A and B are shown apart, each in its own frame.
Chain A
Amino acid sequence: MSEEANRMGMLDWRSWPRLSAICALSLALGLAACGSSSSSNDTNTTPTSGSPASGGGKEGGSITYLMGTAPDFLDPSEGYTTQSAEATWITYTGLLTYKHAEGAAGGELIPGLAEALPQVSSDGKTYDLTLRKGLKFSDGKPVKASDFAYSIQRMLKLNWGGKSFVTSYVTGATAYDKGKAKTISGIKTDDATGKITISLDKPYGAFANVLAFPALSIVPTGTAMKNLSASPPPGVGPYMITNAVPNRGWTMKKNPAFAGFKIPDIPAGHLDTINVKIVSNTQSEAQQVLNNQADVFDAGDTVPPALLPQIKRDASDRFAAQTIPSTFYMFLNTTKPPFNNALARQAVNTGVDRRAFQRLASGFLKPECYFLPVGIVGHPDAPCPHGSKDGAPDLAKAKQLLKQSGQMGAKVTVWGEMREPRKEYVDYYTSALNKIGFKATEKIISDETYFPTIGNQKTDPQTGFGDWVQDFPNPSDFYLLLNGSSIQPTNNQNFSKVNDPHVQSELKTLDATPAADLNSVADRWKALDEYVAGKAYVYVYGSEQDPQFFSNKLNWDSAIFHPTYFNDWTSLQLK
C-alpha cells in the first residue's frame, strides 16, 4: 500500500466509550444488541482444510482491536490504505489472493474465488479465469461471473486510488472511465460457465497481483455506485463488516457460509467477533493493550518510544517488530544541480549514517541500502556499493567525493513532511548533508500537501523524503518509482527523475514477466538493483518495521503477520 495514501483524518474514539463498552459486552454475551440482523452465532465453525492449526487456542469469542488511524474507506471499491485492506482482505476475497502465511510465503498468489491461477496467453495479454461453483455473497445471493465486470466498473466509477493499475492495461478501461463506453470491452464474462476473460492492451507481468487487490474483489451486480463505507456491500470472505461508524469503528463478524465453500488455503477464522475501535491517541492505544484492556495494537501505528522499554520488559512474549517490504529513501533529483552529478550523489550515500534513521524511528527501521527491500524478489545480498548498511559512515571519503564533484558548498533544499519521525529524518539528513559540505536547509510542509507538492514539476525539488510500502509483492511495484515513463508534470512519483536507458531497457522485459515466473528473472532484478545502487540515484536508508502487539488473552503462536496485510485477522485466536 503506497505510504502517501496512508494518511487521513481521524476522530477520537474516547468520546464514545460507554456505547462501545455496551456493544462489546453485548456481543460478548451473544446478544447482538448493537448488531445488524445477520446471524453469526455459529461459534463452532471449523477452519477449512487449509487453515492453520489452532495451536492450543480456542475457537470463537470476541476481541477488541485498536486502530490509531481510521481506514480511508471500508467500501472495498474505494479503500486503498493499509488499515482498509486489513479488513477488506478477509471480507472481500478476490479472484486471486495471497497465501495466509508469514514472510516470502505470504507473497505467494493463490486462487481465491477463481478455481485456479489465470491462464495467461503467450503474448501476456489475455488472462483466463473461471469462477468457483456454488459461491454466495454474505447476503445469500449467488456469485456470478458478470458480477466481476460490474465490480470493476464500480471501482472505476468510485475513483479508487490505484485505478491506474487497471486503466493503464485493461482494454477499454480508460474509455469506460472517461465515460466514452458503457462497459469495459476488455472484460468478457459468461455466467453459465463462470468464465472470465480479461484482455490487456500490453503485457504486464504483475497483473495477476493487481487481480488480488481487495478493490478488484467481487460485489453483487446492482450495488450502488457510491461510497458505502457506512454500510459496506456483501462480499465473499471469512468475515463480514457490520456496525460501521466512519472514523469511530466497526465490527467484523464471522461469515457463517464461508467455511462451506471449502476454498483451499483461505482459513475461515477463529474468532466470532472482532470489535475494531479507532483510538487517535497511540499512547492510550498502546497502554490499553499493555494492560490487557484491549487485545490488538494495530500494526500500522507507531508505538510511542517512551512506552517501548516497558513493553519490552512486561510484554516481551506478545510483542515483536516485524519488517515489512518497504523502502524508505531520500530522492536525489538527477536533472538539476548538485545531484545531476554522480559523485555528489555518491557522497550522500557514503557520508550519511543509516543507523541514525533507525534510532529516529525508535528502532522500527532496518537499515538497508538497496531499493528493492528484503522479501521482494531481486533484493541483492551484496555489500552496499557506497557507504555501509549498518556501520559508521565514511565522512572523509564523502567529503572527498563532494570536492571532486565540484559541488562543495552547493545550496540544497531538503523537503520533508511534518509527521513523526519523518520530520526528524529530514532534520538529521539536512544536518548530515551540511557535515559533508553541502549548504542544506529544510522545507517542512504539511503531510496532506507533501506528495502532491513534491510531485509537481513547478516545485521540482532537489532532494527530500520518499517512501514506498508494497502495493503487492512484485519488484515492478517498486521500480515504478525509478521508471522514466513515470515522470509526470503533476503527481510525479519518480522524484529522482531517473531516466536511465539501461534501466528502461531492463524494465521493458522484466515488467512483462508474469508474476508466476518472477523467480526465473530474480537474478536480472538483482543485477538491475545493484546497478541502480551503484549509480546512487536515491539514498536508501531502510525498511520499515511494524509492531505486532497483542494482549495476553490472544494466542501468539497462531498469529500470522502477513507481509502485505500485516496482522492476519483470520489467524487471531483466544487462548
Chain B
Amino acid sequence: MATTQPAQPPAAEPLDSDAPRAGIGPYRLAATRLRRNRVALAFGGLFLIIVLLCLLAPVYASQIAHTTQSENHVTDQIRVGGKLRDIVSPQGIPIGPTWHGRFLLGADQNGRDVAVRLLYGGRNSLEIGLVAMLITVVLATIVGTVAGYFRGAADAVLSRLLDLIWAYPAVLLGIALGTSLALGGLTVGPFSLKGNSLMVPAVIIGVVYIPYMAKPIRGQVLTLREKDFVDAARVQGFGPVRIMTAELLPNLASTILVFVPLILANAILLEAALSYLGAGVQAPNPSWGTMISDGIRLIPSGIHLTFVPGIMLVLCVLGINVFGDGARDALDPRAKVRLEH
C-alpha cells in the first residue's frame, strides 16, 4: 500500500538567533530568551519569594508573632519547651531561635522579635531600594538625554555636575547626606521629609547613583542624535522635546531596563551600608543594615542577630543580580553594562 508523507513545515529559525524576524517584537523576543534562562528565572523567583514574604510582614507580626516591629519585651518571659525563659536575660543576652511562632528566630537585645523585624526590615530595604531606583532612573534618563542631545553648554554644566557627584565616594557621600538630613529632614520647595522618614535614605541613594546611569545614557544619546531617523524628525519640524521623548527614548529603553536591576541591587546594598553606619534607616525602624549593626556586639552569644539579616541581604541581592544578568542578556546579548563604585 502506498503511503503519502505529510508535507513538512519549513524549518523554524532558531529562537536564540539575534537576527530580527518578522512578526516578533524585540521585547517578545527578549521574553522568549529569558524564559530559556532557567538560572535567571530561578533567582528571579527567589527574589519574588523574598518580596512576598516581606509584604506579609504585618500579617506574620499580628497573627503569628503577636507583636510589632518596634515593641520591646525586655522584661517579658516566654514558655519554651514547657519552661518559662527570659526573653532577655538579666545579663542582657537575648533568647535564641525558639522555632515556634513567637520569637521564631529569637530576640534582639531590646527583646524584639527578630523574625518580625527581619520581614519589616526587608520591606523597608526593598521600599528604599525601589524608590531610590526610580529616582535614579528618572533623573538619570532626563539628565543623560538632555546633556547628550543639546551638547554644548547644557552638556558641560550637567556633565560637571555628574562629575562632582561621581568624584565623591558613594558611601561617604551617603553618610554625609544621611547624617545631616537625619537631624533636620529635607525640604525642597513644597516637599518636606522628616529626618526619620524612610524616604530620606531613598532620596540620598537615588541621587548618589544618578551619574552611574546618566553617563552611559548621555553617551548613547550622543550617538543616536546623529542617526538618520533623528535628522528625519528634525526635517519634519519636531521640537527637541518631541525628538527626545518620541524618537530617542524608545531607543534607550533596553539600556534603561538593563540598568533597573543593577541600580536596585546596588541601592539595597548601599542602604544596608548606610543603615549599618547609622546614616540610613533611623531607629526604631528596622532594616537589614541596622539589624546587622545592632547584632554586632552580641556575635559570640547570638550570631543569629547578624547572620540572619546578612543571609537575607545576600539572597535578595543575588536574586536581583542574577535575574538582572539574565534580563540583560535577553534584551541585548551584546550589551556589557557594568555598574561599579
Contact = CB atoms under 8 A, between A and B. Distances in A.
Most A CB atoms within 10 A — which of B75, B179, B299? B75
Interface in A47-66: none
Contact of A355 (B75, B278, B298): B75
B297 A304 contact: yes
A428 B72 contact: yes
Contacts of A453: 183
Nearest to B285: A442
B256 to A, nearest CB: 37
A431 B284 contact: yes
Interface string A324-367: 00000000000000000000000000000101101111110000
B92 A356 contact: no
B301 A305 contact: yes
B289 interface: no
Contacts of A308: 91-93
Contact of B93 (A309, A358, A430): A309
Contacts of B301: 305-306, 309
A432 interface: yes
A307 interface: yes
B211 interface: no
Interface string A421-442: 1011011101110110000011
B189 interface: no
A141 interface: no
Contacts of B92: 305, 308, 359-363, 421
B114 interface: no
B93 A442 contact: no
B262 interface: no
Nearest to B299: A306
A2 B101 CA distance: 45
Interface string A360-388: 11110000000000000000000000000
Interface in B287-313: 297-302
B91 A431 contact: no
Nearest to A420: B297
A443 interface: yes
Contacts of B254: none
Contact of A362 (B75, B91, B110): B91
How many residues of A sit at the interface, in one of the four size bands? 35 or more
Given A428-B110, A444-B278, A444-B282, A356 B297 contact: no
A197 B109 CA distance: 55
B179 A359 contact: no
Contacts of B196: 441-443
Contact of A443 (B70, B75, B195, B300): B195
A522 interface: no
Given A428-B72, A428-B74, A443-B195, A305 B298 contact: yes
Nearest to B183: A445
Contact of A356 (B71, B75, B195): B75
A520 interface: no
A305 B284 CA distance: 21
Contact of B91 (A305, A421, A427): A305
A359 B74 contact: yes
B101 to A, nearest CB: 21
B137 interface: no
A304 B89 CA distance: 14
A315 interface: no
A360 B109 contact: yes
A304 B300 CA distance: 10
B88 interface: yes
A422 B294 CA distance: 12
Most B CB atoms within 10 A — which of A362, A434, A445, A446? A362
B74 A445 contact: no
Contacts of B89: 359
B71 A306 contact: no
B182 interface: yes
Given A306-B300, A443-B196, A453-B183, A424 B91 contact: no
Interface in A260-309: 283, 304-309
B283 interface: yes
A228 interface: no
Identify the 6 closest CB pairs spanning chains A and B, nearest first.
A362-B92, A306-B300, A356-B74, A306-B301, A431-B72, A305-B92
26 contacts: A283-B300, A305-B109, A306-B93, A306-B297, A306-B300, A307-B300, A309-B91, A356-B72, A358-B90, A359-B88, A359-B91, A360-B109, A360-B110, A363-B91, A416-B283, A421-B109, A423-B283, A430-B284, A431-B72, A431-B284, A434-B70, A435-B71, A441-B196, A442-B284, A444-B278, A446-B179
